[in-house]
Amino acid sequence: MSSVFWALVRKDMYVLRVFAMTGVATGLVALGAMLTGKVGFAIGGILYLTAHIAMGIMIGMYGFMSDRKEQTRLFSLSLPISGQHHDLAKLTAAFATYGIPWAILTGAAAMVVLLSGVFPRGFLVYGLLVQGCCLALFSVFVAVLFVAKTEPLAGLAIIVTNILFSLFMMTLAQESISGSMKGPRIVWSDAALTLAACETGLAVLAVVFAISIILRKRDHL
Amino acid sequence: MMSPDTSLAFTLRGVRKAFRYFALDGLDLQLPLGQIMGLVGPNGAGKSTTIRLLMGLIAPEAGVIEVLGQRVPEHAARAKRDVAFVAEDMRLYGAATLAWHMRLVASIFPNWDEVYAQQLLKRFNLHAEQPTRGLSRGEHIKAMLLLALARRPRLLVLDEPTSGLDPVARYELLSELMEIVRDDSRSILFSSHNTLDVERVCDQIAFLDRGRLVDVSDKEAFLERWRRLQLDVPPGVTLPVLADVVEVSSSARLATLTTNNYQPELQATLERAGARVHEVQRMSLEEIFVASVMRSRGEAAS
């Protein structure tokens, strides 16, 4: 990829940095709150998930929808880059801007589970599956934004991914799946592995879909 | 396959682009290096579509587009190294400062001229550390123009840059454009529906209407070719049908005849037919533009 490609990736990461930084700060505060007892765990847990979801929505909406609506896209497309590479740079930047905070929060959550002694170690699998679901649904949301060019459609994508997240949490809460996650050992049960595989598959599929849309597009406005 | 003509800033041959309710069709247009072309047309004529095709932002369904010798959209990225584009509806990143935008563009263009950028900053009375969301409409256009000019492009493409500007800002912008083309290796394509702006800065003028090129010529030729004749036509005299007469309107004995290819012999021809020519008037570019468009629409309707 050309230097212009990476300049555009850095540009988007700079423009979107406030959402990433707010997401990390909120996530870390939430993790801290989760260590303070039952109520703190509940509030921190909700805040932690909200930080992930809000960060993903803001990065997608601001990085793609506002870019189109406010015509800043016209400015970046005037730079010496093809329309395809421009959109690939946007995809890369979106994943980097979401992925770096996601990795920091995943690492922090794993450390909290493994080192704090507050949670059973088996809870690590639960945490990683939730993190995987957030990343997979972010991938789906971003992929949809390459097709959905209006705010109502983007709003619909947010609603659908939130419903999918709720369904995932309900599935994960079933005793047959989460039972082993409450123990002192880290156990990747068949059910947990299946969920992890589904998350990975969904994320890969979404990225492949987004790339195929980008490469087929002839008009870039 | 034809080899690209390096004496041209851009060329469009038989270009077609259709949308649901609008089509640009059979567009042939070219601009020699070192010239300024004004692309004039009413709203919805296809000016922005033409410019977006040239910039490789949309792809044509038919025809050939070359910009600075590069086929577009296939090699648009290569062409855009020497092309700067500013559009009326283009926006900078509101939360970022102009200085940040200048650093971004400078990091991409090796020809970025920092000294010139600082000069423009002063001339346009802009503040580099101000977030661009605080800029007025005129300041925003000037900021984008600064970012475009300081990269020292060979071709500058401006889509309605004076639209919505106050007269002083418009004057400053047009003066800057005239300054740029003192260097005759640079070319400008300037779209507008303001014929006064176009008349002031352009060498070449193209009229576009409803997706079709109505006429293209150099400015002086346009102004020389078009004339309006005021005639006295006595009763019983019928004006002959003449080629190049675009419009004839009459009221009682007085008639007004508009031609797009004025020759002094026209006067003699009319007088031989029995009419008396009172006055031969030059036409403003706006009058020429309106007459061209109305004639084109009349031809399309018939």
* Predicted confidence (pLDDT) per residue in B143-197, tens digit: 999 999 999 999 999 999 888 788 888 888 888 777 776 666 789 999 988 888 8
**In this structure, what DSSP letter does residue B150 have?**
T
Best residue of A21, A79, A90 to probe chain B, by most B CBs closer than 10 Å? A79
The residue to which tokens 């555009």 are assigned: A8
Considering only CB atoms, which chain B residues are within 8 Å of A3? Answer: 107-108
Rounded CA-CA distance B28/B50 in Å is 11
Determine contact, residues A61/A18, Cβ cutoff 8 Å: no
Which residues have C-beta within 8 Å of that of residue B264, sequence separation ≥ 6? none
How many domains, chain A?
A: 1
How large is the average pLDDT for residues A189-211? Answer: 95
Rounded CA-CA distance A85/B272 in Å is 68
Rounded CA-CA distance B12/B4 in Å is 12
Q: Is the peptide bond prior to B73 cis by the omega test (within 30 degrees of 0)?
A: yes
The residue length of chain B stands at 302
Q: Which residue has the higher pLDDT, A85 or B271?
A: A85
Determine contact, residues B241/B74, Cβ cutoff 8 Å: no
Determine contact, residues A3/A85, Cβ cutoff 8 Å: no
- Per-residue model confidence (pLDDT) at position B238: 83
In a domain, A128, yes or no: yes
In a domain, A163, yes or no: yes
- 3-class DSSP state of B277: strand
CB contact under 8 A, A74 and B91: yes
Q: Which range scores top for mean pLDDT: A10-14, A122-126, B230-234, B271-275?
A: A10-14
**CA proximity to B93, closest of A14, A163, A139, A104:** A14
- Per-residue model confidence (pLDDT) at position A105: 97
Rounded CA-CA distance A173/B99 in Å is 51
- Per-residue model confidence (pLDDT) at position A31: 95
- Per-residue model confidence (pLDDT) at position B227: 93
- Per-residue model confidence (pLDDT) at position A102: 97
Mean pLDDT of chain A: 93
**In this structure, what DSSP letter does residue B80 have?**
G
Rounded CA-CA distance B171/B178 in Å is 11
Copy the structure tokens of residue B285: 């570019």
Rounded CA-CA distance B252/B249 in Å is 10
Q: Which residues of chain A have a Cβ shorter than 8 Å from any chain B Cβ?
A: 2-4, 7, 11, 14-15, 18, 70-72, 74-75, 77-83, 85, 218-221
- Per-residue model confidence (pLDDT) at position B184: 61
- Per-residue model confidence (pLDDT) at position A89: 97
CB contact under 8 A, B77 and A81: yes
Rounded CA-CA distance B204/B234 in Å is 40
Considering only CB atoms, which chain B residues are within 8 Å of A11? Answer: 104
CB contact under 8 A, B58 and A218: yes
CA angle A103, A106, A110 (to 5 degrees): 140
Q: What are phi and psi of B206, to 5 degrees?
A: -120, 130
**In this structure, what DSSP letter does residue B266 have?**
H
Q: Give the CA distances from residue A25 to residues A18, A39, A160, B239, B288, in Å, rounded to whole numbers and listed in that order.
A: 10, 20, 27, 84, 64
In a domain, A221, yes or no: no
- Per-residue model confidence (pLDDT) at position B1: 52
- Per-residue model confidence (pLDDT) at position B234: 87
Q: What are phi and psi of A113, to 5 degrees?
A: -65, -45
In a domain, A10, yes or no: yes
Side chain identity, residue B105: V
Largest separation between any pair of C-alpha atoms in chain B: 75
CB contact under 8 A, A4 and B94: no
In a domain, A90, yes or no: yes
Domain that holds residue A183: 3-216
**CA proximity to B198, closest of B86, B289, B292:** B289
In a domain, A60, yes or no: yes
**Residue range A154-184, pLDDT digits in tens:** 999 999 999 999 999 999 888 877 887 888 8
ipTM of the complex in this document? 0.87
Count Cβ atoms below 10 Å from residue B105 Cβ, excluding itself: 21
Copy the structure tokens of residue A9: 């990736």
In a domain, A30, yes or no: yes
In a domain, A104, yes or no: yes
pLDDT digit string (tens) for chain B, length 302 residues: 556 667 899 999 999 999 988 999 999 999 999 889 999 998 889 999 999 999 999 999 999 999 999 999 999 999 999 999 999 889 999 999 999 999 999 999 998 999 999 999 998 889 999 999 999 888 899 999 999 999 999 999 999 988 878 888 888 888 877 777 666 678 999 998 888 888 888 889 999 999 999 999 998 988 999 999 999 988 888 888 888 888 888 887 898 999 998 988 888 888 888 889 989 999 998 999 999 888 888 887 77
Determine contact, residues A137/A164, Cβ cutoff 8 Å: yes
